[in-house]
Amino acid sequence: MQIWVDADSCPVVIKNILFKAARRTGIVLNLVANQPLRIPKADNIRFLLVPAGADVADQKIVEQAEPNDLVITADIPLAAEVIKKGCQALNPNGELFSPDTIGARLSMRNFMESLRSGGIKTGGPEAMSQSSRKAFADELDRILTRMLKDNK
């Protein structure tokens, strides 16, 4: 049981919550990015540097993640791939993607992408709010509690 983070796009405040959770629980935390990151020194916190390129970090996470691992990502196609493998996927706003909802989320993402490629401005993601940080921390705590309980 490990945590995988799509770290290129993960907000710093979310990484800090994950660092604290990894230290508290001892769960292995893997951050995957195509640029160097500063991480705390801890045996269970690891950084994997991948080559630059579209979806290289995503593919590394899909390759390495095992069933029951937790993947932190805002990338809906990545979430869909890891859910197929039996992983859980949590976005930085605290939304837990599920097999029941990921198809609709992927369809909406593809629709919005087609609008953007057609020149329609759709706006970007909302800024990370205090309520989003709390929602993420709360959901992470629920998931980790359940993961640790199931592995005893």
The pLDDT of residue 110 is: 59
The pLDDT of residue 71 is: 97
Domain ranges of the chain: 2-150
Q: Which two tokens stand for residue 124?
A: 């970007």
Q: What is the DSSP string of the chain?
A: -EEEEETTSS-HHHHHHHHHHHHHH--EEEEEESS-------TTEEEEE--SSTTHHHHHHHHH--TT-EEE-S-HHHHHHHHHTT-EEE-TTS-EE-TTTHHHHHHHHHHHHHHHHTT-----PPP--HHHHHHHHHHHHHHHHHHHHHT-
**Ranges of the chain with pLDDT below 70:** 103-105, 107-112, 115-116, 122-127, 151-152
Work out the number of other CB atoms within 10 angstroms of the CB of residue 100: 8
The pLDDT of residue 9 is: 85
The pLDDT of residue 121 is: 72
Rounding to the nearest 10 degrees, give the CA dihedral for residues 59, 51, 3, 27.
Answer: 140
The pLDDT of residue 126 is: 65
Pick the CATH number of 2-150 from 1.10.8, 3.40.50, 2.40.10, 3.40.1620: 3.40.50
Q: Which two tokens stand for residue 19?
A: 């660092």
The per-residue pLDDT for range 57-80, each reduced to its tens digit, is 999 999 999 999 999 999 989 999
